[in-house]
A and B are shown apart, each in its own frame.
Chain A
Amino acid sequence: MKIGVVTFPGTLDDRDAARAVRHAGGEAVALWHNDADLHGVDAVILPGGFSYGDYLRCGAISRFSPVMEPIIKAAQSGMPLLGICNGFQVLAEAHLIPGALTRNHELHFLCRDQTICIENVNTAWTSSFSQGQEIVIPLKNGEGAYMCDDETLAMLEGEGRIIARYVGENPNGSRNLIAGVTNERGNIVGLMPHPEHAIDSLTGPSADGLGFFTSVLKSFISGGVK
């Protein structure tokens, strides 16, 4: 199974995401922002970084990259799509996920090992976890505070679309401790912390992050997303 990993100018975690895909047993395919061709991939990851230097707003320029057009189209038809950190910001800018990511409440970049609780195991990217499982993966961002209006928040809570929440003190001021959100269909996930940096305990705080990548592989073996 082929998983595309997009590189925008300023993307940083593309090699890490590709490594995580390989560790999980998949084939990673490099996708270039300026090439509007998905090269036959079955799923796509928008990795972290500072695409276009975070000019204007995080993710605001990348969202219009040529490669985003086929990605948006395929994701709307059910292709699994994971946006991590800057990738989450791109998903929000592309309106594939509701809400927005704003400046951390303490107003500076924060990198730390973060415990999150997996609250929805019915998405393409979280099915390897158990409901309520607590995992530790790195959090590292300057603009990771998840914001949305009350109505959207009630909808997300009501529909169980908050896939992961921060455990303990709120690290960045996100509403309802939101760390990750999915779309209605469960194929698109936006996640602020970095599972690709937690695929083995040698280089990360744990190997807990691998579950996101094995989930998507499993979803194909079991016949695709609902």
Chain B
Amino acid sequence: MSLDTVATAKANPDASQPFAELGLKPDEYARIKEILGRRPTSSELAMYSVMWSEHCSYKSSKVHLKQFGDKAVKTDALLVGIGENAGVVDVGQGYAVTFKIESHNHPSFIEPYQGAATGVGGIVRDILTMGARPIAVMDPLRFGPADAPDTRRVLPGIVAGVGGYGNCLGLPNIGGEVVFDETYLGNPLVNALCVGVMKHSDIKLAKAAGAGNLVVLYGAKTGGDGIGGVSVLASETFESKGPAKRPAVQVGDPFVEKVLIECSLEIFAEDLVVGIQDLGGAGLSCATSELASGGSGGMKVQLEKVPVRDPSLSPEEILMSESQERMCAIVEPSKIARFLEICAKWDVTVNVIGEVTDGNHLEITWNGELIVDVPPRTVAHDGPVYNRPMAQPAYINEVAKQVINVPIPATADEIKVTVLKLAATPNLADKSWVTDQYDRYVQGNSIQAQPDDSGMVRIDEKTHLGVAIATDANANWSYLNPYEGARLALAEAARNIATAGAKPLAVTNCLNFGSPEDTGVMWQFAESVRGLADGCLEMGLPVTGGNVSFYNQTGAVAILPTPVIGVLGVIDDVRTRTPMSFDRAGLDLYLLGETEDHLAGSEWAYMHNQRGGVAPTANLQREMRLIDLLVAGRTKKIFTAAHDLSQGGLSATLTEMVLRHNTGATIQLDNVGMALLSETPGRVVVAIDPAQTAALTQEAVTQKIVLTKIGVTGGDSLVINDAKISLVELRKAHTETFAKLFG
């Protein structure tokens, strides 16, 4: 194929171009022509097609995501907001923390190991790009039914990929989720969260400022992997027919990324960059156009200077390649020698590929011939914006009318069978088979990890300052009521860090939905965003960034709406955290919060194939008072342990508490069946020394939280009313499930 230059495009304006194959709609193609005043060259077309894809441009979600800014609380804690690679919050003592979740769903279905591995790699580079040292990762994962044959292919591969990449980077994996539902069978969800820490003064931004500064590409060489990956990611659903997509999935090399991290941190420490951007989705197209539009707007790049693994790559392919482990930096000429020296120390491939210019043109040449000449903003930020039609789907009113009809245990035998069934069901069973494949100790700062309510890492060894993070989604509730579902997930994530005594500070999200071209899915999405934005405003928490993943469906069937919400909190002294369980007898157990008849969307209803009912309404004012109580209980040393109630209700919470340190409990409950199974939000079980009774009562009264004594700790059984379940039996039920399914 001959080189399609800007001159050729002008000389041959009517050449037919494969815009549809690249995922562009006719009107989008027409708009590119209008912007440029001519047809795009093939390289320009490649750039626009990847940057205007759903994945990169957020064209279907933008109009809704605006609410996160419009409804935002004013807070000094937010140092960098939405729009950069990741948001940054002030956690005190001069430290800034950056965190973000991203999805890598579609590639992980095609190639579970590499899809999940590069999902971790991508989010870690986003965090590194802000100038931060990555300090931990978490992985909310969702799969088809645990006993489905394809889950046996997908789950072990994804878990090995998450571990294989994260372990090799030296990042502790401190939590996540493993959830099963049939709607994820042909479309598993792999969301990856990374958190990083830096000093305020070290924050880096993606901008190419200062004419004459150099554009430097460093890290792995560019290869043919992941070409068109962006289009696969976001613009197509999985159908049985159609060409195989395997070659489009990127292949990662965590060793190269580890070296890239250390090399970059050394470069940052010497303040050698003006701006920086990682190469992820849309590769160089994204990095060059975003850096240029983040700065003064002008940039010249000589594309033949990009180090390549495969010399036969065309310029279009180099622009679209999603080869992993690459970074693009803007460096002042006076600092380039030292920059190259540090790269040499770490054996990192590096080349100067261009320079920042005056004006607002991104010009890319290939051996001297001009192949791209575009205003970079039009590529990076002025993509199409769709206000897609939406309508409340018919099922919403139908499911609301359904009455949950499940067995409610009453006798000792029924209670025992129910508790054991819940302990063993895949969604609630012990996840050690998964989490034991992740390193949770590396870096030596992990305070909490799975199976705790949240992950917690120390960020200062002298002052003991730390951060806690939890991610949550309750897709069953979101299915019944997407607005409340998002608010409930937000409340749960916040509660999960508060049980340890950390104070919620900021929110990130990963919004996983079906096709935005489906009016019902679009409504689910809009309602979820509205719910999350309203919830964050009410709770006074800023949204620092996030990710949208559409087209998660198999044929016409969309996944359950799955907004994964991540909440980050700060704890001034990690040594004083409240653990999730107790290891001694003689403590009193209390339930904080009232239990109502909330079986809709519960695990028990799911186990009985009942998907209907009315989701609970989030009472965020009460949640905030509960959080205040939990934080005060930690600082005043009232609690010995605290553990959240969520999926599986009180039954699951008690199971996890007694098994954690092999210390039993004796529980007395009224209306025992509903007390064990209901999933009323806003509840926590706390263990206290009896001497703290007055202090606890005082806090509960102050915060107007209902307090009920439910039992005492001790013994080698979980005793609930007349039912006695030995810890040996309970542990067997809880731990055997995953080994049997996947071992």
A interface residues (Cβ-Cβ under 8 A, vs B): 9-10, 12-13, 15-16, 19, 34, 49-50, 52-55, 106, 108-112, 138, 140, 142, 194, 196-197, 199, 202-204
Contact = CB atoms under 8 A, between A and B. Distances in A.
Interface in B434-487: 435-447, 458, 461
A25 B453 CA distance: 35
A65 to B, nearest CB: 12
A111 B441 contact: yes
Nearest to B438: A111
Q: How large is the interface on B (under 10, 10 to 19, 20 to 34, 35 or more residues)?
A: 35 or more
A10 B259 contact: yes
B442 A13 contact: yes
Given A12-B169, A204-B441, 4 more contacts: A9-B259, A10-B259, A197-B444, A203-B446
B631 to A, nearest CB: 20
B160 interface: yes
B369 interface: no
B160 A9 contact: no
Contacts of A19: 444, 461
Interface in B654-684: none
Contacts, number: 87
Contact of A10 (B156, B168, B437, B575): B168
B281 to A, nearest CB: 24
B354 to A, nearest CB: 28
Given A110-B436, A203-B458, A55 B255 contact: yes
A19 B438 CA distance: 22
Contact of A111 (B160, B258, B346, B439): B439
Contacts of A140: 167, 439, 441-442
Nearest to B168: A50
Contacts of B170: 12-13, 49
Given A109-B163, A109-B164, A109-B437, A10 B255 contact: yes
7 shortest interchain CB distances as A-B pairs? A53-B255, A12-B170, A197-B441, A16-B444, A50-B168, A138-B441, A109-B437
Most buried by A among B439, B440, B441, B574: B441
A111 B437 contact: yes
B459 to A, nearest CB: 12
Contacts of B164: 109
A13 to B, nearest CB: 6
A13 B444 CA distance: 8
B253 interface: yes
Contacts of A10: 168, 255, 258-259
Given A109-B164, A111-B436, A203-B446, A53 B253 contact: yes
Listed residue (B438, B443, B743) with the most chain A CB atoms within 10 angstroms of its CB: B443
A52 B78 CA distance: 38
B447 A203 contact: yes
B254 A50 contact: yes
Given A50-B258, A108-B160, A12 B442 contact: yes
Nearest to B440: A111
A16 B443 contact: yes
Contacts of B341: none
27 contacts: A9-B347, A12-B168, A12-B169, A12-B170, A12-B258, A15-B444, A49-B170, A50-B168, A50-B255, A53-B255, A54-B168, A106-B743, A108-B163, A109-B167, A111-B437, A111-B438, A112-B432, A140-B439, A142-B167, A196-B444, A197-B442, A199-B444, A202-B447, A203-B441, A203-B444, A203-B446, A204-B444
A55 B168 CA distance: 12
Contacts of B253: 53
Contacts of B156: 108
B466 to A, nearest CB: 10
Contacts of B442: 12-13, 16, 140, 197
